[in-house]
Every structure is written in structure tokens, then in C-alpha cells.
Chain A
Amino acid sequence: MPARLLAAFAAAVLAGGVGAAQAAAVAVLVTDAGGEPLNDAVVTLEPAAGKVPVKPMAGVEIAQHHLAFDPAVTVVTVGTPVAFPNQDTVRHHVYSFSPAKTFQLKLYAGKPHDPVVFDKAGVAVLGCNIHDQMLAWVVVVDTPWFARSAAGGRARLDAVPPGAYQLRVWHPSLPEGVAPPAVPVTVGAADLEQRVKLPGAAK
């Protein structure tokens, strides 16, 4: 968690560096079709003008703890290496057949030698070949503005320079292979408040 804060801070510094005082924050409330707030929803803003280069994040870990992935949903920028420390006493066999990143970490305990570098944007679904119920998602984004909704369905994207963006919201409950809906938003000087309802998602 401190690493993520650090990353967000770094992004803000970066954005501030670019847009100075004009940058604004975008708060998004994600709900399901019934209006219930959804946590672990990944919200991204993609500049309508074109992609902005992103820097790989550092120190990202998806731990295996109590026969579960922690966290279940991780958002990383393209090229970010993710470590998979095994904190359980049993071994795990983490794999992904997703096109975004196909890999497997065969039966290991503790921390594997090399982190897995997610070098392609997309969603990688992670499983454990031994424990079927273990499930994690790594959302690899190629935009610097992204956030993950906390409990209460709220996500906040800070230091978003003004401009036109495509607001996309992804949630694990969305059917696989379905592209998350894109909402065009325009960020001005003021903070922006946005509500997104995901029809195909469920809590």
C-alpha cells in the first residue's frame, strides 16, 4: 500500500510538473446496475488526444496469503514488474492464460526469483493451478491516470490535467472479453465528479 501511495504521489508530482496548477482531481463513483457501489473497480482516463507514455511502476506485489491473492485486483502500468511472494505454508502454482500476459510460476514457496513483467495493456486473469478458488486480476494500463475503487465504490484520480478523456471503468465481474464502456469526460480546472453504472457487473 505505501508503494501505491508513493506511485500516486509520483504521478501527481509528474502531472504537476506538466500542467502546474491547472491539474484537477476526478472522483468516480462506480455502482452496479442496481446502484450498489462496487469496489475493486478500475477507473482509467485515457486522453482523447493520444497515448501518454507511462513509466513502469516499482515494488508492486501480489501476495498469496490465506490461499488467496492479495490484493485481488491490481492496476499496474505497462512494463511494471509484479512480484508474487508466497506467504502461505503451501506451495502455489500461479498462472495466467490471458492474452495480456501468459505466464506460470510453477510450484514455489516464498518469493520467486524474478518478478513477472506485465508488458502489455489488458487484463490478466490469474489463477493457481493447485487452488482453484484463488483468483486475481492484474489490470495493465497504458495511461498514467487510473484508480481502483475502494469500499463505497469511490475512486479518485488526482492531478488530471484538463482536457478530453475517455473514462473507462472495468470490474472483475464484467464478462470476460467484453470491453469496458468508455465515457468521454472533459477535465477542466475544477475537480470533477463522475458516476459510472456498470450494467453487466455485479458485486
Chain B
Amino acid sequence: MRRSLRFWRRSIGARIIVLFLGLLLVVQLASFAALRARFAEHARQALPTRLVEGERLLQNLLDRNAQRVTDGARLLAADYGFREALASNDGETIVSVLANHGARIGATEVALLSTDFKLRSTTAPHPADLAAVAGQLAVPAADAGRASTIALLAGRPYQSVLVPVKAPLVVGWVLMAFPLDAQLVGDMRNLSGIDLTVLSRTRTDRPWNVALTSLEGARAASLARDGWAGGTPAAGLTTAAALGEELGVRAIALGGARDGAEVLALVSLSVDDAVRLPADLQLALVAINLVAIVVFALGSVVTARRVTTPLRGLADAAERLGAGDYETPMQGQQRDDELGELSQSFERMRISIAENQEQILRLAYWDSLTGLPNRARFRDAVHEAIAKAGEGRTVALLMLNLDRFKHVNDVLGMRIGDKALMAIADRLTRAVARDGGLVARLSGDEFGILLRDGDVSSALSVARSVEQAMDAPLTLEDHHVDVGAGIGIACWPVHADSADALLVRTEMALVAAKRRTDGPLVYDPAIDVTSAQTLTLMTELRHAIDRHELRLYLQPKLALDDRRVLGAEALVRWQHPERGLVPPYQFIPFAEQTGFIRTLTQWVFEEAARHWQALAEEGLALQLSVNLSTRDLLDVELPQKFAALLARHHVPANAFCLEITESAVMDDPQRALVTLDALSAMGFKLSIDDFGTGYSSLSYLKRLPVDELKIDQSFVRNMHADPDDAMIVRSTIDLAHNLGILVVAEGVETATAWTMLRELRCDHAQGFHMGRPMPVADFIAWTVAWGVHPQGVEFDAARTLH
């Protein structure tokens, strides 16, 4: 029930069908009821007429009957032999002729009357009754030459006729009587469907006797019990109840009453039968209605289909739209009706949504400036590539971040910056086109390259192509812009097991590459603080201090002019019990990321202070350089900590040079400046490390309390080969000297470099050419071997905290 109700609510088709059939049934029932009522009314109205017609028919039948009998009697009367017998008054012959002719036509009562209607001879067993009938018919017969009536003979109704015998004048009369028989009521019933009942009684005060009837005997008897005094008026209708059935009745008096003897004919119709629809008509109606129901059912099913099929199609289409399929055109647009309009509207909506969707997708997945896929699209592409990569296939990812792009934007403006990005995008696209890589712009100055079937070597090859593409400076509206980029590389599945991890790790490699500024960098778990290896490393590093696994190394720093050893850069090395000496790039970056670098800085400074004392006792008065990280700079308590440390070891502040990278200062120049001012005030020497890799402006540099610049080793190393680098080195030296700042060259690995630097009037030098970073004991030994002892270096005792 509930299901069908739900079906009803949910299906327009079902409703149409039920509505159609329901309306049809209502119409059918209404028309059937109306028809029946009208028919009944009509039948009831027609009942008296029908009964009158029945009466007429009865009269007709009786007349014909009388005529037949009359004809029979006439035949007898005209029979020559009979007349001869009559003329000769031959009694026996007469009787035999009467019997013979009576038998011929079925008359049971035949009599010959004299001209004065006296019975002369007869075959009848009831001569008295016959004589009475003769008396009754005498007058009309004498008048009309013949007469007929229905009379009772022995209590039964007879059709009696009287005809003259002429020879050739009337010489007598023949009386013939036929009993009214079942033939009459049968004919009546067959010809008109009207029932006939003939009642008779010998005296008015006697009850009626049923002589003949086509009704059931009991019903006729019931009818006979009514009074029936006299006939019915011409158009009247008497109704009588007979055994519970209502009958319409007309009563007709037959024959003249004689001595109170009466014959009454009742023509009757069952009112119920008359008003009932005839069975064949009912059958026809039922058949028509059934056909109509079938036709309507089929019609409504077809109609419902015609409505619901397109609706279902539209619903499916809407589902498809909802599911994101905007490609399939709508069905049923060619229809001319409302559904066609709806389909057309849906089609317009589909096209509009598809366009919107395309626009959204473009916005969502494409970078509007460069026309390259954006980060989201790139991410999806990486997902797809990994999902589709088969067994044994790899996916390589490159990310590159433009160097100094912020600078370009700041100096040349956003418009040029945008053009630069477009040009770079174009170069990248062309550079990787050969390898089938996908280039995407991930953020402002960051691009990604997806190599769907790439591995580390192919990625490195692509990275080289990219670097080559970046070699030529961009020319933008008369501006020449040098571009370079840090490139990070990671591969699936060797470096990451999922697309997202691959993206993250490629980015880590990029960050590391940017920091290292040493060309493309392939992901290594060491650069990843989140890698299991790094986590282990981190734990171990924490313990390294307690377990005294860290070692202080010193790299000599010399005066270029006289090769004097001026000082040394204090560097940390980790002597791992299992791994051996861990290179600094394996733990310094994540120490920076995790903040552990501050502990390391403290440790280095502490060690440096301690060794300074030891060296001093050896007669080596050297200035030791200690590296500060960004995090150290941002630590507002750093000056106090350092002051406490100096006090603890009784060392002067000016015995130490604090090296800060250019980028560390640039991260938060305000706070850095505060810290640096404080440190400078305390007497520390300050040095800008890795100068040239950052973007610090010289005007800004001037404001810093800096004593020394360290030119980044990348310039120094290429100086002899690259005139640009040489130029940078020279400019930096000149600039620094103009500002009254000493210049230290790092990465001096050859005698050529040494010579060049000295010619460029660089102040100090540091590098493998002179000495690698080495344990303190080795350093002391090296100093002895170097031979040029530090001399004349005085540390401001007043500023030490003895």
C-alpha cells in the first residue's frame, strides 16, 4: 500500500493513467446510469402504449381467430351437399356434415340453427350452453348476416361464430365454437412479448378462473384474485402486484356478458422486465465499455509514455549535468510541445553551464597570466601521472624558483615583472617540449615541470636544459634582466610514495637548492626534516652535544697581502659513532628549520671561546668567526646570552667576528638591525656572509654596523673563468672599501684566485688553497707549518670582560 502510494506520488505516468481511466469509468458509469434511468423512464412511459398495442394485437388475433372460424363456418354453410341435406331435411346427414366440417377446421362445437335461431341439430355435448350462445348471437347475426363472440361453454371461453346458410336465401344458421387455446397466448407472447391471461367466471359474484395464461400459474392465480370489475380505460394503466412482481395490466372484456358470465383478457407486462436494460444491450454496453477501457488504457499509457519518457530523459540529463557530463546534448529538442521547449531550455542551460564550467576550470586550473596550468592543475596532473604510471615506471618532478624576481618586481615594476614571467614561461615550455614535460606556474615566481616518464637522470637533463634556457638575459622594454633559478627535483617512487608527498619533497629540494645556490638539487631525505632519516638524525643531534660527538673545526683566514694568519672560522662537525663524520649540509639545514641551530650556535660560540683561550695560551691571538643563523638574529635575548658567555670564559668580544648571511638579515631587517646594533655595541665584529647571493641593496648595507663582507664562494670560484663574476668580485671589493668595510674572499681554491684577489686588493682570503676546516689541534699544527705567525693583533683588553 505504502509502496503503491509512493509509486503514485512519484509517477506522473501512473497518475495520468489512473486519471484517464478513472474519468472514463466515471463517464461510463454516469452514462450507463443515465441510460438506464432514461430507458426505465421511457419504458415506464411506453408501458401503457405497449399494453394498448398488446390489446390491439389481442383484438387482432381474436378477430383473425373469429375470421378463421367464420370462414370455416361459411365453408360449411356454403357446402352444396349440406344445403341439399338441409333442403331435404335429412337430419342424420346434417349431423354428420356438421361433425365432418367441424373436425375439418377444429371446431369442437357445431350446430345448425333454424332461421329463428332455434337449435336444429348439433354435435356438441352441451346443447344448452350452445343454445344460449345462439340466443346471444341471434340479434347481431340477423342484423349483420353474421356474428361472433367469445362465450363460455361449459365454463370455458370459446370463440363462437354464427353464419347463415343460404339456399340461396337464408334457410338456417350454422353456429361454430372453438376453444381459446394456448396457441393464442403463445402467439401473443411471441409476437409482442406481452403476457396474456384469460379469466372467466360464470357469474359476477364468483371468483375469476384462469382459463389461459402465459404467466406462471401462481402469478396468474394471484392476478386473478384482483377484482377486475370491468375493463381498463383506453390509455390507462393498471398496475398489479403479483407474487412480488409489479405488472402493468390492461383488462379487456371479451364477449358480451350473459347471465353474469364474463370473459376477461388481461394483457400484462412485467414493469421490472420492461425497465430493465435488455440483456443484449447490457452486453453490448459492457463490450463497448471494455473496449473503451482498453483503448483508453493503451492511449493513456502511450500518452503517459510520451510525457514521462522525455521527462525521464530530462531527469537523466540533469543527473548527467550534476555528475559533470556537459557534453551529451539533450534529447527531444525537436518536439514542438512544452517538453520540447523544456528540452531546449535544458540544452541552453547545458551549453551555458558547460561554458561556465570551462571558464571556471580555466580559472581554477590555468594561470591567466602565462596560460600555463596552475598549482591545482599541476597537482592533478601529478596525481594522474602517478595513477597511470605502470609497473616499473617513474615520474619525475622539477620545481624552480626564480632568483631575485622580487627584486625585478620592486625595481622594474609589476608590468615588467609580468612580462618577465611570461617570457620565462615561454622559455620553460620550449625547453621541456622535447622531453614532453608539463610546465605549470605554481605561484608568483615558482614553476613546476612534470616528467611523466622521467627519472632522476632525465630530470637532471631537463634541469640543465632549463638552466641553459635561462642563460640569456631577458630583454624587456630596454631592460636587460638576468634570470636564474633554483631547481629542486624529486622522483616517484624513489623519493615519495604519493603525489602529494612528491610535490612536498620536490619543494623541499627546491628550498634546499635555493639555499645551496649550487645548481639543481635532487631530493635527499637529509634535507627533509620530516623524513624518518632526519627525525632520527634530529634525535641523535640532540644527543650529540651530551655525548660530545660534535667537534669544532677551524678554517684559517689569512691576510692576502702578507699571508698572515688573522683568524679562523669556527665550524661544527659531527663525529657520528656509526656514520662517521657527518657533513654539515646534512644536519645544518634542518637544525635551522627546527630551531636547534640556536643550540648549535651556542655550542660553537662556547667552544670557540674556550679554544680562543687555549690558542691564546699557545701564543696565537686569533679572531674567531662564528656563524649566526636567522633564528639567532631573531632571538632578542642573544646579546645577553653572548655577554654571559664572554664573561664565563673571560674572553673579549672583539676577539670574535659574528657572520650573518645576507638572506638572514633580509628576512626581517628591522629586528636584525636591532640585534646587530646591540652586538656591535658589545664589541663584536660583524661580517656579512655569502655576500652576492641575496638581494640586499648597498644603501641598506651601509646602515648596518658591519665590519666585513664575505664574497660568496660561487663568485670566487668562477672568477677566473667568468668575467661577470670577476666583475662582481671587483665591484664588491671596491664598494666595501668605499664604505670602509673589509672584504673576505671565500672559496679560494687556487693560487690564481689568490693572486687575482690580491691584485683586486681584497683584504682577506679563506679557502682550500690555504687550509680546509680542521680540528683545533690540527689547526694549531697547520699554523706552525704555515709559518707566518699572527702578529700584532691586539684585542681590546678593555673591552674584554676579564
Verify if A126 is at the interface (C-beta below 8 Å from B): yes
Residues of A within 8 A of B83 (CB): 97
Contact: A97 with B166, CB < 8 Å?
A: no
Residues of A within 8 A of B78 (CB): 132
Which of B84, B169, B170 counts the most A-chain CB atoms under 10 A from its CB? B169
Contact: B87 with A127, CB < 8 Å?
A: no
Whole-angstrom distance from the CB of B75 to the nearest CB of chain A?
A: 12
Verify if B168 is at the interface (C-beta below 8 Å from A): yes
Residues 145-167 (chain B) with a chain A CB within 8 angstroms:
166-167
Smallest CB gap from B168: residue in A:
A127
Residues of B within 8 A of A134 (CB): 168
Residues of B within 8 A of A127 (CB): 166-169
Whole-angstrom distance from the CB of A198 to the nearest CB of chain B?
A: 17
Interface residues of A toward B: which range?
10 to 19
A176 to B171, CA, bound (A): 9
Verify if A135 is at the interface (C-beta below 8 Å from B): yes
Verify if B80 is at the interface (C-beta below 8 Å from A): yes
Contact: A176 with B168, CB < 8 Å?
A: no
Count B interface residues, CB 8 Å.
Answer: 12
Residues of B within 8 A of A132 (CB): 78, 166, 168
Smallest CB gap from A99: residue in B:
B87
Chain B, residues 775-794, CB within 8 Å of chain A (1/0): the string is 00000000000000000000
Contact: B169 with A129, CB < 8 Å?
A: no
> B169 contacts which of A95, A102, A128, A135 (Cβ < 8 Å)?
A135
Residues of B within 8 A of A128 (CB): 168
Contact: B168 with A125, CB < 8 Å?
A: yes
> A125 contacts which of B80, B84, B169 (Cβ < 8 Å)?
B169
Residues of A within 8 A of B87 (CB): 97, 102
Known: A97-B87, A97-B171, A102-B87. A129 touches B80 (CB 8 A): yes
Residues of A within 8 A of B80 (CB): 95, 129
Contact: A126 with B168, CB < 8 Å?
A: yes
A129 to B77, CA, bound (A): 12
Chain A, residues 84-96, CB within 8 Å of chain B (1/0): the string is 0000000000010
A102 to B89, CA, bound (A): 13
Smallest CB gap from A97: residue in B:
B87
Which of B86, B166, B167, B170 counts the most A-chain CB atoms under 10 A from its CB? B167
A182 to B166, CA, bound (A): 28
Residues of A within 8 A of B169 (CB): 125, 127, 135, 176
Residues of A within 8 A of B86 (CB): 97
Chain A, residues 107-141, CB within 8 Å of chain B (1/0): the string is 00000000000000000011111001011000000
A134 to B86, CA, bound (A): 20
Residues of B within 8 A of A126 (CB): 168
A46 to B83, CA, bound (A): 34
Residues 61-98 (chain A) with a chain B CB within 8 angstroms:
95, 97
A132 to B86, CA, bound (A): 17
Chain A, residues 137-180, CB within 8 Å of chain B (1/0): the string is 00000000000000000000000000000000000000010000
A128 to B167, CA, bound (A): 9
Whole-angstrom distance from the CB of A124 to the nearest CB of chain B?
A: 11
A interface, CB within 8 angstroms of B: 95, 97, 102, 125-129, 132, 134-135, 176
Cross-chain pairs A/B with CB under 8 angstroms, 13 sampled? A95-B80, A97-B84, A97-B86, A97-B167, A97-B171, A127-B166, A127-B169, A132-B78, A132-B166, A132-B168, A134-B168, A135-B168, A176-B169
